[in-house]
Chain A
């Protein structure tokens, strides 16, 4: 019954979104937002609409639970010929999930226009229009728009400074606990808690009771969902003449009859149980990637199966390959504006391997290596692999990871326990839980099982804040005072003056940002309870309330994605160098040059380009970058969320460093209007680093992780530098990166020529994967502009 890997690989469906916007402007939009074979599935939208119509007037949490019950009991399900792990979120493998309850306006535009008309046929468009009738005024985006007034409304309108991604909420469940107890364990806990409530009738009795009843409804729906697959598998097994297939189907039936209800006993059961839970989370709430510490969770099951002879390594590898195909099936529909930020993304699913456990012991096991082998054989967009690094990461694992990187797929990305665990502790996470952190999405740091509901609340273009400082908050086109009325640049005499004006702009816009976000959170709390997710978090049942109504000390919720920070820093450095130190130009002349987008000021622009840049281990530039990072972090922390936690920055710039830069005018670092920002929080500006890869790391190490936030750093190497004789050197380079306590690094191992060729002959390079931000993407799905920005990254050689 074995498949060959190429056969399994051929089952991968590509649902990555193509970036069709930069800011509000179109960007290669005629390509369409998805590959033509991708379709939109309306079944979840249809079922949730039917359910909502039936539950009008009930408590919201109950309505959400009943909607899930209706969806899970009636969604079209399928088992494909080759599958061993089953479950689906849309009616066919090539179909996309659509959360009509969240946002329908932009999606309606997409499927009616050039960008997405292949997603639906006319009948589909008609049905969608009917469904939308119900959601007018009721979808989350409708509710937001009617809730926004005054300032919040004014700044919610995009001007290139901030952008929203309200829908995205991560959160990594405590899979170890769930797999050990099964969902039956959670139902039992909820029933006991209900009994306790009845005995005590505490404050909030009714709300709590309704919540727990909702959890029981949704958990039972989940069990029934699994039973439907079991029944289908048995029925199909009876009909098939193929013995191999029959055997596979009977195994599926037995597995789905047992999990996720009961504790998993084998690797197959553990993975199937995980996949159901994973899928149902997506079905309950449309979100970007959710993560898992894959080797830590599944290693013990795998090793037990190996020991008992229940599975061979080869069989386990195939099982993972089949799971990879299922994970790849999960996709999302994006709005065109968001496509500018998530260019090439399907749903940003990440799998974490390595690192330490709660007691600080290295978790590397047989499963760790199996994951890497799966990744290499599948070469798929998702899941992206994250390697957690610490001093005791085995040399063998590091060397093996470099082999995976050498294939050019852009992962594993590497995260440093040595800086991230202290950062989490500083944020108030207890040491044991900090050690258990897991990565979701691209670089989101989470604590499994904690009430995370991690929200990528949106993005803030820091280079644009710098630009506002140069304009005293006035939009030169309209004369409108949109930002803060900061000091006149002509009066600046020191870098402190510039920094203060910049920080004031960050403060001004971030104040608006948090108000918008708080408004949204109120709406989510009221209209979008998540009984399934709330039920599977460690303390969910004991708190007896929806996840949005209570908090715990480990909450890592309030983040803003920051972009263009290097450009802001290098801009200040250029001003210091040219205006204050060398006095080669007056501030007035520099402003004039920027106003003219450097046109007619080629020499001055070149001087700005020649000014010291972050990434060369040159303190002149790096000291300012440190002040910008640390100071920006302080400004963000001046604002607390509704639970009292300070806001934090986040390095997950996705492709927003390209998309958001479109609306930012010329900056003193030599950047012209629309030119992409540096591609990550720790990355030098494109071409700004000329002292090699060690200098980049030294510069990056000057920015303290625990003083700031989780970062992202892209590096590009030629393939020959990670192979043969060079591999041990590369491993030493990585270990030094670890010693320098830089929180993150990831690589594009590809030569420029290949990228240029792929841009010219996309049909020959349909499989070429590149690292964009915290994720990998098919190069051919990116717009030419975004491709160019990746080609422009400095190629490190030695």
Chain B
């Protein structure tokens, strides 16, 4: 088995299971979002996924100002202003989630939970009839699934033993042997190519891209691979840059690349977990621009899809 992998059971940390996903691989799929990510992408649409453990997430519109949270908060992080608006002092919050336990209205919630492999598999198999009809299956996403390699590998094996098509949606940021071990066992890898320039990559995601590009190359050579590219205006959307990506796709013979135009979905989420959004002034790219980028890929003979 090597690399210290222990599979078959154990506990994993996830933050969501979403059924009827149709953009995360072929057919109708159920996507499990693993918790924890070593990257800190500034545009991240799921910043609540980055920490490995459960964290507090707030939805102010659902607050009825009942004040139960104030009563249970051990650090005094929660208060209400004169307009009965809840204020959270995130510096004081110790992420104990006691407030989430008492909130009946879904205004304070815990994001993330640990789950046993068996229970998770049972949950992921619920839509099996849909997978069979549509050629779909399960996609393991995140967060970054490679952060929990043993659990994820066990999960993959359990699913494949039941003849379920498994896709791995990854940033590719992991040691080569960990990546290879997982990639070899899935039916499809959805691989994020955020930036080809190491410096830029480091600047906007907090990590360099060398391991990532090596793993991308491995994936493309060993398993069915689709690239995915978040299109972030001013970061990776210039035609000159995209030509390089197209050349890479073409060199590695990846089946296709999905363009994910930037959206502001992450903005609210950062607020909801008490963090500052670092890309405040970026607007979603225009449809025409996305079309232009698609044309670049087409010229290089690379198939594209756009996921909004």
Interface on A for B, CB 8 Å cutoff?
602-603, 606-607, 610, 617, 691-695, 698, 725-726, 729, 732-733, 735-736, 739-740, 796, 798
Contacts and interface: CB of A to CB of B under 8 A. Distances in A.
Interface stretch (B49-57, B86-94, B127-135, B222-230): B127-135
Given A607-B104, A729-B27, A691 B66 contact: no
A695 B126 contact: yes
Contact of B27 (A603, A732, A796): A732
Of B21, B133, B305, chain A has the most CB atoms within 10 Å of the CB of: B133
23 contacts: A602-B66, A603-B66, A606-B104, A691-B19, A692-B19, A694-B19, A694-B130, A695-B126, A695-B127, A725-B305, A726-B22, A729-B22, A732-B28, A732-B135, A732-B136, A733-B28, A733-B130, A733-B134, A735-B133, A736-B129, A736-B132, A736-B134, A796-B20
B238 interface: no
B136 to A, nearest CB: 8
B19 A739 contact: no
B18 interface: yes
A580 B127 CA distance: 31
Contacts of B5: none
B71 to A, nearest CB: 13
A694 B127 contact: yes
Nearest to B130: A736
B282 interface: no
B64 A602 contact: yes
Interface in B128-149: 129-130, 132-136
A745 B130 CA distance: 16
Closest 9 A/B residue pairs (Cβ):
A732-B134, A606-B104, A692-B20, A736-B133, A798-B20, A694-B20, A736-B130, A692-B19, A732-B133
Contact of A798 (B22, B104, B133, B305): B22
Contact of B104 (A610, A693, A735, A736): A610
Contacts of A607: 104
Contacts of B235: none
Which of under 10, 10 to 19, 20 to 34, or 35 or more describes the interface residues of B? 20 to 34
B241 interface: no
B105 interface: yes
Interface string B200-237: 00000000000000000000000000000000000000
Query: Interface of chain B, helix or strand or loop or mixed?
Result: mixed
Contacts of B19: 691-692, 694-695
A725 B26 CA distance: 11
B32 to A, nearest CB: 14
Contacts of A729: 22, 27-28, 134
A739 B133 contact: yes
A603 B130 contact: no
A739 B129 contact: yes
Interface in B19-44: 19-22, 27-28
B104 to A, nearest CB: 4
Contacts of B104: 603, 606-607, 610
A346 B27 CA distance: 40
Contacts of A610: 104
Contacts of A735: 133
Contact of B105 (A606, A726, A798): A606
A617 B130 CA distance: 14
Given A606-B105, A694-B20, A733-B20, 16 more contacts: A603-B66, A607-B104, A610-B104, A693-B20, A725-B305, A726-B22, A729-B22, A732-B27, A732-B28, A732-B135, A733-B133, A733-B134, A735-B133, A736-B129, A739-B133, A798-B22
Contacts of A740: 129
A481 B28 CA distance: 53
A617 B27 contact: no
Query: Interface of chain A, helix or strand or loop or mixed?
Result: helix
Nearest to A798: B20
A28 to B, nearest CB: 30
A709 to B, nearest CB: 23
B31 to A, nearest CB: 11
B101 to A, nearest CB: 13
Contacts of B20: 692-694, 733, 796, 798
Contacts of B130: 694, 732-733, 736
A602 B64 CA distance: 10
A610 B62 CA distance: 13
Contacts of B22: 726, 729, 798
Interface in B249-292: none
Interface string B86-123: 00000000000000000011000000000000000000
A733 B133 CA distance: 8
A516 B28 CA distance: 50
Interface string B57-83: 000000010100000000000000000
Contact of B21 (A602, A606, A798): A798
Contacts of A606: 104-105
Contact of B126 (A617, A693, A732, A736): A617
Contacts of B27: 729, 732
Contacts of B132: 736
A81 to B, nearest CB: 47
Contacts of B127: 694-695, 698
Contacts of A733: 20, 28, 130, 133-134
Nearest to A740: B129
Nearest to A721: B22
Contacts of B134: 729, 732-733, 736
Nearest to B103: A606
A796 B18 CA distance: 13
Nearest to A602: B64
A195 B305 CA distance: 76
Nearest to B104: A606
Nearest to B123: A617
Contacts of A694: 19-20, 28, 126-127, 130
Contacts of B18: 692
B126 A698 contact: yes
Contacts of A725: 305
Contacts of B66: 602-603
B128 to A, nearest CB: 10
A740 B132 CA distance: 12
B20 to A, nearest CB: 4
B214 to A, nearest CB: 32
A602 B105 CA distance: 10
A584 to B, nearest CB: 10
Contacts of A617: 126
A602 B104 CA distance: 10
Contacts of A798: 20-22
Contacts of A603: 66, 104
Contacts of B28: 694, 729, 732-733, 736
A739 B27 CA distance: 16
A117 B18 CA distance: 54
Interface string B170-194: 0000000000000000000000000
Of A617, A796, A798, chain B has the most CB atoms within 10 Å of the CB of: A798
Nearest to B68: A603
Contacts of A736: 28, 129-130, 132-134
A508 B22 CA distance: 48
Nearest to A728: B134
Nearest to A698: B126
Nearest to A796: B20
A732 B137 CA distance: 13
A692 B133 CA distance: 17
Contacts of A602: 64, 66
